[in-house]
Each structure stands twice: as C-alpha cells, then as structure tokens.
Chain A
C-alpha cells in the first residue's frame, strides 16, 4: 500500500507527458555544449594516445570520468608514472569545484526527486552543463537534466575517439596546435566571470602567480604540477573567501 502511494507520487512527479518534452528541451540546450566539447576531447584523445595510452582506454576515461581538467591532469600524471596517491589526490582537488555546483543544483531541482535520479544525473554535472542548468528559470526535472547531459556526454566520447584514432594520420602541425584547445576552453570559462567580478579576477591572478612561481623559480620548481595545482587552488580560494566573502543569496 505504502509502495503504491510512493509509486503514484513518483509518476505524478515525473509527469509522463512532460517526460519527453523536458528531455527534448534539455537535449536542445545541451547541443552547443556537445559541439564545444568535440575539439577539446579530440585534443584529449590525441594527447593520451601520443603519450602511450591505448585508444580504448582513452575512450574509457572519457566515458567514465566526463571531465576536462581532471582527465588531462590525470593522464599527464599517468604518463609521468606518478603514484596512485598523487593521481587520486590531484584529480580530487581539481574536481572539488563540482561540490559547489552539485550543491547549487540541489536547490534548483524538483524537491521530490528520488535519490536514485539524483545520483544518476550527478554524473553529468560539468562546468558547462551546470552553467546552463543554473540559468534555467524553472525547477530542473530529471528528464530535462538527462536530456541536457546526453549530447555533451556523447560529444565528449566521440571527440576523444576521433582524436585517439586519428592521431597517427594528422600532420604534426595540427597535433601541436590542438594542444591549446583545453586551455582555450578554460579561458572561455573564467574570463567572462572575471570581467564581471573583481574578486574572481583577483582569485585567478593569485592562482596564476602561485603556479607560475612554482614553474619558474629554481628550487620551487621541484614540486610536481599536481601539488602545485592543489596548493594554488587552496591558497587562492582561501584569499577569495577571506577578503571577498560572498553573501548567501548570491551563491
């Protein structure tokens, strides 16, 4: 009896007729992200295979991780034969940013969404899908989110496969040029925010100053890149939190 009630509640919340409509809406909004991912994941596939990672593993990484910065850093560390501890910690720190996005989405989704749906859609939270979802002016439903995720997920996997497979056929000039794609995407993500907020700009500058110091200053440059990113992130974010605390309603 209880289960029946719960089941009907759930059917009500999904709203059968809205399922396809919401999915389609989400899917449409995800398409530009999907196309944006192709050059970047292409560069990822290229880099991974050039560094000695088998093609199928490069694709596997994209299909199980679905993240840009974490994958590039992780694969870079694998190629450098880093310890599993360093790989895990670095990837984790790079991905801490998803906690805020996940937290923000938690306020934005349909309140009754069951745990199973929450844990499935969580997989598809990226910098870009989060940005699109949080700009929606209504509550986010499970079908909408799944539609939004679908395009980017396959765009990311497809780009990786293409890059991984085509590596050997591409002229060196193209291969080398693709190396900038990831960083260009990061610039596309941070510059618009830095333009609007001085605090964000300062946090970015602090982070860059630290990572540059540990790259160029003798002795300091002994620290591996993974640790430098961790250090720069913690210090710069702390500077932001201490000097520019954000009032709650703006989060």
Chain B
C-alpha cells in the first residue's frame, strides 16, 4: 500500500464527493422537472444507507451476537427518534457492556 496510491485515492474520493454537492446548487437555479429523476434521487440516500448498514452491521464488532444486540438498541433508539449521538453512543455502549460482561 504505497503512499502515492493512498493520496491519489483520497484526492479522487474528495473530488467525487464534492462534485455531487456543488454541481446542482451552482448550476440549477430552477427545479428539476422530471418526476422520475427527482423520485429516484429522493430514494437514493435511503437505499445507499440501507445497503451499507445491512448486513455489514452484524459483522462490525467482532462478535455476531453482540452486534445484533447493538443493532436492536440502535433500531429502538432511532424508532423513538433520539438524536444521532444518542443512537451511536447507545449502540456502542451496549456492545461494550456485552464485551465486558460476557
């Protein structure tokens, strides 16, 4: 893993992260008309985040059972619309307790 490879990858990542953020707000000063495109775009965040989270989350802590407990905790806290930090810390904490107690 050469430093050049990493830096090049990071630069490319930064560019393709910035472009989708900047292009629409700089170029479009009017609404997009196509309902199909706006609908597709509307659903992408949920699709991406869903696909990224499951099933990866159950392999995220080094123990399948603890991860499932953490996932349930996160689902419960999110269902009751606790903030970002509470959900993240709550899941981490419950997994940590599993690690310590069992």
Contacts of B55 in A (CB 8 A): 208, 211-212, 215-216
CA distance A92 to B20 in the complex (A): 8
Which A residues, 72 to 92, have Cβ-Cβ distances below 8 Å to chain B? 72-74, 77-79, 81, 84, 87-88, 91-92
Interface size on B, residues (CB 8 A): 80
Closest chain B residue, CB of each to CB of A33: B84
Are A212 and B54 in touch, CB under 8 angstroms? yes
Chain B nearest CB: distance from A205 CB in Å? 8
Q: How many A-B residue pairs have CB under 8 A?
A: 319
Give B contacts to A, CB under 8 Å: 1, 3, 5-14, 16-26, 28-29, 31-32, 35-57, 60-63, 66-67, 70-71, 73-75, 77-79, 81-85, 87-93, 95-96, 99-100
Q: Give the segment of A5-13, A16-24, A120-128, A161-169 that binds chain B.
A: A120-128
CA distance A87 to B82 in the complex (A): 33
Report which residue of B44, B66, B89 has the largest number of chain A beta carbons within 10 angstroms of its beta carbon: B44
| Partner among B21, B38, B47, B54 whose Cβ is within 8 Å of the Cβ of A203 | B47
Contacts of A236 in B (CB 8 A): 43, 46-47, 50-51
Are B82 and A188 in touch, CB under 8 angstroms? yes
Contacts of A246 in B (CB 8 A): 35, 38-39, 42
Contacts of A135 in B (CB 8 A): none
| Partner among A43, A52, A91, A184 whose Cβ is within 8 Å of the Cβ of B70 | A184
Are A177 and B46 in touch, CB under 8 angstroms? no
Are B36 and A245 in touch, CB under 8 angstroms? yes
Are B75 and A84 in touch, CB under 8 angstroms? no
18 A/B residue pairs, CB under 8 Å, sorted by A: A32-B85, A39-B92, A43-B92, A92-B20, A97-B48, A99-B20, A99-B23, A100-B24, A103-B25, A179-B61, A183-B91, A184-B77, A190-B78, A199-B43, A212-B54, A240-B42, A246-B42, A251-B42
Are B25 and A91 in touch, CB under 8 angstroms? no
8 extra A-B contacts, CB within 8 A, seeds A188-B87, A241-B36: A36-B84, A61-B13, A73-B52, A84-B5, A189-B45, A207-B50, A208-B53, A240-B46
Contacts of A70 in B (CB 8 A): 13, 17
Closest chain B residue, CB of each to CB of A69: B52
**A53-B6, A57-B6, A183-B60 known; A174-B39 Cβ under 8 A:** no
Are B54 and A208 in touch, CB under 8 angstroms? yes
